Chain A
């Protein structure tokens, strides 16, 4: 009975957590490879923030679920179909511009989302959001300043940033698609309806893109979606196999 009541909340928490985890994992792939030492550290810091937020969200989901599953079990022993993250965050790092554009798109969204979630009537989520939004504001500051620096930088950095914008733009609509789960939970004040954030997101993103002397990509009719229902791009499977291999090869290993 209780499980039925909480199922939508658990699903919602997992979805938020998956966004944070997968993006954080992608950023962690830069560790030791970033263009300069300072950015290597900056990206590792941001990755840790993302994974930390994911950990809180998974733990909250596990508590709601009440079956004794841990955050680690949720992360390491689910298949790609069970992951509900946005397609955007699983896209490969590419060059630095591509990583920054991906981050910028999510950060602009995340700041709005987690700011609103601070008022969630589901108190564990409101608490997590209060901490997360501070980190996200910093992430947004970092990624948006890099958008401007790359876009308004050299000919090469401008071209790379524009290419990344054009390639990743098609994944942004998925963030704002109408969603039955959100609608249901929003009635009780638990969730935020993402589509209500679209105008503000678009305004912020346009402003930065314009300051960066970049061009807003043309709207495409075809929306890349499926992450929320577990239908991912080919990239998630590869990411998961690398992330999960140790835990699956040596279950219950301690270190």
Chain B
């Protein structure tokens, strides 16, 4: 916005598609686009034209804050041996199928 970027590619955007009501938006892939409207149209043309889609989100990749590989030990390791921390612990036994279903 503030500075004129000099590069030969448009900005990268991430695309999330909701396939039907009451289902979450799932990451479909990435596209390049010149602006927000262009991103929405490119997302539609690349990912949503043939499949079923109800709604599309696009977000500039640079706006996604991601954890780093270095974060992994302190972020994720401690939960591995403490199943009682999982939200399903008290209602269900930890069943892999639960996690696989969208």
Which A residues are within 8 Å of any B CB, using their own CB?
A: 36-39, 41-42, 45, 141-142, 145, 149
Closest Cβ–Cβ distance, residue B50 to chain A (whole Å): 9
Closest Cβ–Cβ distance, residue B31 to chain A (whole Å): 6
List, in ascending order, chain B residues with CB within 8 A of A39's CB: 42
Give Cα A78–Cα B39 distance, bound, in whole angstroms: 41
Closest Cβ–Cβ distance, residue B93 to chain A (whole Å): 46
The answer to whether A38 and B49 have CB atoms under 8 Å apart is: no
Contact partner of B42 (CB less than 8 A), chosen from A38, A141, A149, is A38
Task: Give the contact-size bracket for chain B.
Answer: 10 to 19
In the complex, which residue of chain A has the Cβ closest to the Cβ of B45?
A: A42
Which of B37, B41, B45 has the largest count of A CB atoms less than 10 A from its CB?
B45
Contact partner of B46 (CB less than 8 A), chosen from A41, A141, A145, A149, is A41
Which B residues are within 8 Å of any A CB, using their own CB?
A: 10, 31-35, 37-38, 41-42, 45-46, 49
Closest A-B pairs by Cβ, 7 of them: A38-B42, A42-B45, A41-B45, A45-B45, A145-B37, A41-B46, A38-B31
The answer to whether A36 and B10 have CB atoms under 8 Å apart is: yes
In the complex, which residue of chain A has the Cβ closest to the Cβ of B35?
A: A149
Give Cα A145–Cα B42 distance, bound, in whole angstroms: 12
Closest Cβ–Cβ distance, residue A190 to chain B (whole Å): 32
In the complex, which residue of chain A has the Cβ closest to the Cβ of B41?
A: A142
The answer to whether B34 and A141 have CB atoms under 8 Å apart is: no
The answer to whether B38 and A149 have CB atoms under 8 Å apart is: yes
List, in ascending order, chain A residues with CB within 8 A of B45's CB: 38, 41-42, 45
Closest Cβ–Cβ distance, residue B20 to chain A (whole Å): 19
Give Cα A39–Cα B31 distance, bound, in whole angstroms: 11
List, in ascending order, chain A residues with CB within 8 A of B31's CB: 38
Give Cα A41–Cα B31 distance, bound, in whole angstroms: 11
List, in ascending order, chain A residues with CB within 8 A of B34's CB: 149
Give Cα A66–Cα B38 distance, bound, in whole angstroms: 45
List, in ascending order, chain A residues with CB within 8 A of B46's CB: 38, 41
> Could you list 26 examples of A-B contacts with CB < 8 Å?
A36-B10, A36-B32, A37-B32, A38-B31, A38-B32, A38-B33, A38-B42, A38-B45, A38-B46, A39-B42, A41-B42, A41-B45, A41-B46, A42-B41, A42-B42, A42-B45, A45-B45, A45-B49, A141-B41, A142-B41, A145-B37, A145-B38, A145-B41, A149-B34, A149-B35, A149-B38
Closest Cβ–Cβ distance, residue B35 to chain A (whole Å): 7
Give Cα A38–Cα B12 distance, bound, in whole angstroms: 12
Closest Cβ–Cβ distance, residue B69 to chain A (whole Å): 29
Closest Cβ–Cβ distance, residue B42 to chain A (whole Å): 4
Closest Cβ–Cβ distance, residue A8 to chain B (whole Å): 36
List, in ascending order, chain B residues with CB within 8 A of A141's CB: 41
Give Cα A150–Cα B10 distance, bound, in whole angstroms: 14
Closest Cβ–Cβ distance, residue A232 to chain B (whole Å): 31
List, in ascending order, chain A residues with CB within 8 A of B37's CB: 145
List, in ascending order, chain B residues with CB within 8 A of A37's CB: 32
In the complex, which residue of chain A has the Cβ closest to the Cβ of B13?
A: A38
Give Cα A45–Cα B41 distance, bound, in whole angstroms: 11
Q: Give me 5 other A-B pairs in contact (C-beta within 8 A), A36-B32, A38-B45, A42-B41 excluded.
A: A38-B33, A41-B45, A145-B41, A149-B35, A149-B38
Give Cα A219–Cα B50 distance, bound, in whole angstroms: 42
List, in ascending order, chain A residues with CB within 8 A of B32's CB: 36-38
In the complex, which residue of chain B has the Cβ closest to the Cβ of A142?
A: B41
